[in-house]
Structure formats: C-alpha cells, structure tokens
Chains A and B, each alone.
Chain A
Amino acid sequence: MTHPAFYEFGSPVRVVSGLTALERIPGLLEDLGAARPLVITDKGVRAAGLVDVLTGALGNGLEPGGIADEVPPDSSVAAVREVAHRFREARCDGILALGGGSVLDTAKGVNILVSEGGDDLMAYSGAGALKRRLKPLIAIPTTAGTGSETTLVAVIKDAARQVKMTFVSHYLIPDAAVLDPRMTLTLPPHITAATAMDALTHAMEAYTCLAKNPQSDAAALAAVALIAEHLPRVMAAPGDAHARLALANAATLAGMAFSNSMCGMVHNLGHAVGAVCGVPHGTCMAIFLPYGLEYNLHKNGPLTAELLLPLAGPEVFARTPAYHRPFRVIEAVRQLNRHLRERTAGRHACSLQEVRDARGQAQIPRERLPEIVAAAMRDGTAIYNPEDLDREDVLMVLTQAWEGLPLDRTRVRQG
C-alpha cells in the first residue's frame, strides 16, 4: 500500500440520507437553533415541484420564512445581495439550499452577508477571511453529481468587475446535507447520466491524482462501486427510489473524496469546455474521464487497475491479467458512456463533436479548440494532475476527444 507522506482530510458535514430524510429537517434545524429558514432555490427546481415536496415534508410544525427562487444558473453577486435582503426582511434565522451547485454557492454567499452583516461580499473573499460560525445552512441537493454539499468553497461571479470570487472557509461547509430520492426521482435520463458520470469522475480522479489519501480512497472506492451498480439500474427504471438514493450517496461520497484530494486534468479540460462553449459540467466529465485515465497511465497504471474491482466486480477483476486491468477500466468507462448514449437516445455524448444544445445544434465546433486550450491553461486543477500538461498536450487530447478516438499513447510525453 502506498500512502502520501502527509495528507489532510476534513469533511464535517452531517449527512442525513434515506427515503424519509426530508422529514428529519425540522429536527436538524432545531439542533442547530433555527426555527425560520429561508428556502433558496432556482426557477427550474420550483417548476419541477420540488419546493412543494420539501414544504410538504416539513409539515405543519415548521413554516419557512420565505422561498427565494431567483438564483440564476451562474451564481452572481447581485443575486446574493437580493436574496440576503429577502432573508433580512423575512427575519429568517437559517437557510435551506435546495438545488445544484449554483444554488448552494449563492446560499453560501447569502449566509456570509446575513451572518457577518453588510453588503460587501468582497471583504470576505479568499481563504480564511471568515472567523466565526455562520447561520445554520442545510443543503438539499437535487442532482446526484456535484458533491458541492460537502465542500468548503463558494464561487460567485462579480459581473461588474468581471471576476469570479472564491471564498474558502471551514465555516462555509454546510451544517448538514439531506439526501432524499424524492429530490432526484424526476431528473430526466440525460441529466441523470451526466451527473452520475460527474460523480464517477470525482471518485476516479480522487483515487488517482496527487493528493489521494486513505480516507479519500475509501470514499472514492465506495462511490465507484455504488455508481457502477446503480446507474444502469436507474437508467432502466428511473423510478427506483433505492437506486436513486444510492446514486445520491455516491455523489456525496465522491464529493467528500475529491474535495479533500482534489482532481486533475479531466476537470481541467471540462472546466475549459464549459467556460468556452457553455456545455454542462457533467457532459464534459463523461467525455474526458477515459482520456484523463489514459493520459496519466504511465504514472497511475496500478491505481487505475484497482478501480476495476468496484467498477466491474471481483470476477472480471480476477479474470483480467494485472497488466491489462488499467486498460480494462478505461474500456469499461467508454462502454458505460456508450450504454448511456443508447439509453438517452443519443443525448449523452461520447465525444465533443456529439455535444448538442437544446435546439440540436453542435455546441463545440472544431475551430474553437484553440480557445479551449487557452482556457484550460488557466485552470487550477492542472496542479493536481500527476503528469504535466502544456498547450500541445491539451490540444492533442482535445482533438482526440473531439473525434471520439482513444489517445495515441506514444504521443504522451512522460516526465
């Protein structure tokens, strides 16, 4: 067993998971000393009827102080200020963040303002600017993917100054994450597929990148096993609450793993494609995951090989010769992608050229690859990737991923 000479791991969020997890919220709030929470969410979540499910589960004992559904798809300073204003107006004392990544980022930003006072988020940006506990915040994820309910980071865009502000603090970790399958039962198949692949990427990168450690490893292996077993089940029977719950657990476990061990080039490339072409994060993760594993193979082979057990089961693992296991893992991920493409009638893309927007237009024209390269060179996750990546490397990987062809391993430069 190889271990890092030093590691840090912290994931103090209380996770409540189950078929009746939502009903536990009043009790959690009482423990945290809050009685009048503000529900922060977005229009899509509200339209899907999830706010009603939540308020129904809260029962008569707990009346939310209000429902703020004006969170934009990308969290922004303006939205944070507006929601903070609502919080104060309604004299709330806690937050229920119901939604995906941007809802949670917004909720964290709101919590900074309403706990510390004032309207100036900027004063608290960076690491370590917060010095005390904020108001109670409970995260209720509505996709099983991002894992952001476990992180201590919030990213909020300041449109006026054209910067993304990053907030890092222990105090930004939600007090609790509530995982209830009722929140993900109605997700359409292609989003289920993309978000689950996002979680799978978190887990696999956490297991193979530079900051891996025994605690993140355990969470990552558990997440891979859950996804491998339950994703095909959910695709076949979207109403399977147990399998949905398993995917939600996997996403949280993967979140715990990657937020401590960080992630590598799959995220690097994915962030870049997302920023340049506006492609959903999970879609990018699904496409790049096999490439990330392939690119780092010479440094990571033995670690990638170990992923075969949770991914394909003990029989396949034992049958596969040791030297062939990492290749088998990469092949299994590609196979899973193809299976998902089939199940979603082609909406789940396996290559960059297959990515389409809502109107069916190709979203990533080949001419834009150089722009994506430039964006990738400015993404922080490159630091945790085992092998170095320069412009030529990124372009080489992007070209293959655009075509949907495996990497030519002889073209990977080894450091």
Chain B
Amino acid sequence: MHLPELVEFVNPVKTLCGRRALEHLPFELQSLGACKPLVIRSDDAASRDRLRLLARVLGQAGLSLGDAAGTPGHPGPSDVQDLAAIYRDKDCDAVLVLGQGALVDLAKLVNLTVSAGALDIAELDTGGRGLAGLRPLGVIPTGVPTGDETTGSAALAGKTFRGPRLAPRLWVLDPRVLGDDDAATTADCFWTTVTHAAEAMLGPGANALNSSCAAAALKLAAAYGPAGIEGRATPEDRLWLANGAGLAGVAFDNAPAGLAHRLAVALAPEARQPAGRLMGVLLPHVLEDAMHSGDDHVAGLLQPLAGIAVHAATPQDQRASQVVARLRQLLVRFYLATGGRTPRTLEDAGLAPAALETAVPGGPVAEAPEERFREILAAAWGGRGGDPSPRRHP
C-alpha cells in the first residue's frame, strides 16, 4: 500500500443498516439535538405506506415529524425555497428524505439552505466552514440507489453543487422501505458502485484509509449485485448492494473522479443512457490501460472483487488481468440477463464512432493524455481488449 505525502479522508455519514434500522433513528436524531424532522418524499401510494411506518417508529419514541409530499419531475430552486419555508413555518429541526435520486439532492440543498439561513441557493457555501451550524440530514433510500445518497454533491436544474456541507449525517437502510427496481437500473447502480470504488483505489492518490472504504463497497457490490441484475435478488441482496453503493459514494467523495467516471459522464447525453452503464463498459479498458502503464493497484482489486481465497490462489502477476477478465465476464452476463439493455460495448450503447471524437472528459486528465483516452474509447467501442502484450507509452 502506498502512502502519499499528504492525504485527507473523511466519512461524515453514520450508517444504520439492516433489520429494524429505522428504530434507531429517533435516538440518533435526538442525540443530534433534533425532535421534529421534516420528511421530504414523493406523493404516491408506496411512499405513503413508508411514511406511515416512519411516523409510527418516530411517534412511538415520542418524536413528531412534518410530512412534505410532492411530485417534482425536475425539482428547481422554487422547490428548495418552498420546502425551506415549510421547515421554518412548522418549526422543524432536521431534514429526512424518504426517496431516491433527485429527491435526495433536493433534500441536501434544503438542509443547507435552512442551516445557513440563506434565501437563495446561489448564496450557499457548500464547503468552507466545516460542519458547524449544519442541521442533521438523514437519507432513507427507498429503491436501488444512484450512489449519491452519501456524497456531498447535488444537482438541481442542471447545476451541480459539491462540498462537504451537502453530505448527510445519517444514512438509514431498512429492508422494510427499500424497494425493488428493474434489472437495468440495478446494473447502473452496480457499475457506478464498482467504478467509483475501483477508481478510488487507483492512481497516485490511493491511500489506506479511502481504499478500505472502497474495498468494502466493491466487496458488497460484487457479492450482491449480480443477483439483482439476473433477477434472483432477495431483499437481503438489495440491502447489501445499496450498502455498497453508499460506501462507494464516500470513497468517490474522497478521491479525484476517475477516468471511467468522467468519460462516461461526458458520453451519457449523446448515448441517452444513464452514465452508470457506460462506466461499466469503460472500466475494464481504463483498468487495462492503468495496468499497462504500471499502476500496480489494479491487482489489489481482486481480493474485494473475488474474495480472499481466489486472491490468494491467483499468482501475483496474474491478479490484475484476472480483475479485468472478471469485469468483462460480468458485462456479458448482464447483457444477456437484461436482453441487451445493458451494453457490453459503446457500440451496444448506441454511440456512433463519430460521437467518440467529440467526447472530452471534464476536468484535467493528468492520468491519461488525449491519445490514450482516445485509445481507451476506441477499444471500448468495439469491445477489444485482453491483449497480453503491454502497450508502450512515452
């Protein structure tokens, strides 16, 4: 394990995970000084049932809650302002979100707005002053996670906010409220988790602290993801996959975004596919590239991915290629299991070769100069790879 000159790591989220996890929430809220959370949720029948359970669990412990239900397709600044106004009017003192995706982002921004006493989200300070003055924010996922449940990032109306002050304090995974989703969505979750975790363990910034978190994420995703995608997941499997997704979020927050992540995000609008699927396609190629350019962290992925026994039984010099081979195998399995909805290659994803020419990952690309990520894209388009001879880079 390399130890860089200077690293920082923080996992601000407390996990409550498993059987009767919700029952721990009243005590946690109270010890953070809250007794009436505002619960933000979508307005539908399933969500009403979940709210009823939550209200009962909090009510039995003597806590109140304010229930704010709405159905924003694409939440905007006005939703943040409306919810902040409700929070203040109704004397709430914490924010909980019972839901998924955009709703979680909305709750993060509402919490920061009410904590900072801001009137406009443009004024929000997402980093800076540490966690002082923040109200407790709790996320209670209700379906296959997007991976943003535990991160300090939120998107609203096309704008992205990032900073430690957006990350939740509590993250509650309870099988009673964690619903199911289709195989392709589960595949997105799986590949986002695996990519974020794997890329956090690569590169010159990789360190023992963040890698341990990422390894836990990778291990959970590898053990429980495939069952969900191939349609044989138990509620337990979903719970542990969700757990892995959240941990990958923490690892992602503590590392610079990796190449597979950034290329996938850049290609997603053109491919009209969720970025997660594209990450899956790109990851084996990015790992192969890292391997050939001498990053010996790739081999370290085998243990979380395949287990202690396989790792130990694989000779040192074959571990990295074993990692890539396993990921490729999963791509094919998921392609078959979802009837082609999760791509194996960028071609499967509906991208024309011309689209690759214009794709440029956001941010500086220190780890790969342009000709190399062009190579990666080209290989991922046709699904080439597995070439045993190391490519030579200048």
Contact = CB atoms under 8 A, between A and B. Distances in A.
**A and B directly contacting (CB within 8 A):** yes
A33 interface: yes
A323 interface: no
A31 B313 CA distance: 47
A170 B15 contact: no
Interface stretch (B95-103, B205-213, B255-263, B356-364): B205-213
Contacts of A394: none
Contacts of A33: 129-130, 132
B71 interface: no
A32 B127 CA distance: 11
A15 B216 contact: no
Contact of B5 (A19, A215, A306): A19
A8 B128 contact: no
B212 A31 contact: no
Given A7-B18, A9-B15, A314 B3 contact: no
Interface in B275-321: 303, 308, 311-313, 316
B247 interface: yes
A226 B17 contact: no
B213 A215 contact: yes
Contacts of A14: 8-10
Contacts of A6: 16-21
A222 B215 contact: yes
A258 interface: no
Contact of B6 (A24, A221, A226, A253): A24
Contact of B308 (A3, A13, A317): A317
Given A18-B5, A314-B312, A226 B208 contact: yes
A7 B312 contact: no
Nearest to B250: A215
B24 A8 contact: yes
Contact of A15 (B5, B8, B17): B8
B128 A31 contact: yes
A309 interface: yes
B252 interface: no
B130 A249 contact: no
B32 to A, nearest CB: 6
Contact of A215 (B8, B19, B169, B247): B247
B329 interface: no
A368 to B, nearest CB: 40
A12 B213 CA distance: 13
Nearest to A8: B16
B208 A4 contact: no
B14 interface: yes
Interface residues of A, number: 57
B1 interface: yes
Interface residues of B, number: 52
Interface string A12-37: 11111111110010000001110000
Given A12-B14, A249-B208, A249-B209, A19 B6 contact: yes
Interface string A119-156: 00000000110011100100000000000000000000
Contacts of B131: 133
A139 B303 CA distance: 33
B142 interface: no
Interface string A205-225: 000000001110111011001
Nearest to B30: A128
A370 interface: no
A53 interface: no
A213 B131 CA distance: 27
A249 B210 CA distance: 11
Contact of B3 (A5, A31, A242, A315): A242
B344 interface: no
Contacts of B53: none
A285 B5 CA distance: 31
Contact of A132 (B5, B15, B33, B223): B33
A120 B5 CA distance: 43
A3 B236 CA distance: 10
Given A5-B18, A17-B6, A17-B7, A175 B130 contact: yes
A314 B17 CA distance: 32
Contacts of A309: 303, 308, 311-312
A32 B313 contact: no
A20 B311 contact: no
Contacts of A3: 18, 240
A215 B4 CA distance: 23
A246 interface: yes
B12 interface: yes
Contacts of B245: none
B31 interface: yes
B3 A245 contact: yes
A218 B11 CA distance: 14
Nearest to A257: B212
Contacts of A136: 130
B153 interface: no
Contact of B216 (A11, A13, A214, A318): A214
A215 B216 contact: yes
A10 interface: yes
B41 interface: no
Interface in A169-184: 169-170, 175
Given A13-B10, A14-B9, A318 B1 contact: no
A284 to B, nearest CB: 26
A1 interface: yes
B220 interface: yes
A410 B135 CA distance: 55
Between A20, A170, A242, the greatest number of chain B beta carbons within 10 A of the residue's beta carbon is seen for A170
Between A4, A17, A246, A253, the greatest number of chain B beta carbons within 10 A of the residue's beta carbon is seen for A17
Nearest to A19: B5
A192 interface: no
B209 A252 contact: yes
Nearest to B4: A18
Interface in A236-267: 242, 245-246, 249-250, 252-253
Contacts of A242: 3
Contact of A222 (B4, B17, B212): B212
B9 A222 contact: no
Contacts of B129: 31-33
The 10 closest A-B pairs by CB, nearest first: A10-B14, A18-B6, A6-B18, A218-B216, A222-B212, A14-B10, A314-B312, A317-B312, A318-B312, A5-B19
16 contacts: A6-B17, A8-B16, A9-B15, A12-B10, A14-B9, A18-B5, A19-B5, A33-B130, A127-B31, A214-B240, A218-B212, A218-B216, A219-B212, A226-B208, A309-B303, A317-B308
Given A1-B219, A33-B130, A253-B208, 9 more contacts: A6-B18, A13-B10, A19-B6, A128-B31, A213-B17, A215-B15, A215-B216, A222-B212, A253-B212
Interface of A: 1, 3-21, 24, 31-33, 127-128, 131-133, 136, 169-170, 175, 213-215, 217-219, 221-222, 225-226, 229, 242, 245-246, 249-250, 252-253, 306, 309, 314-315, 317-318
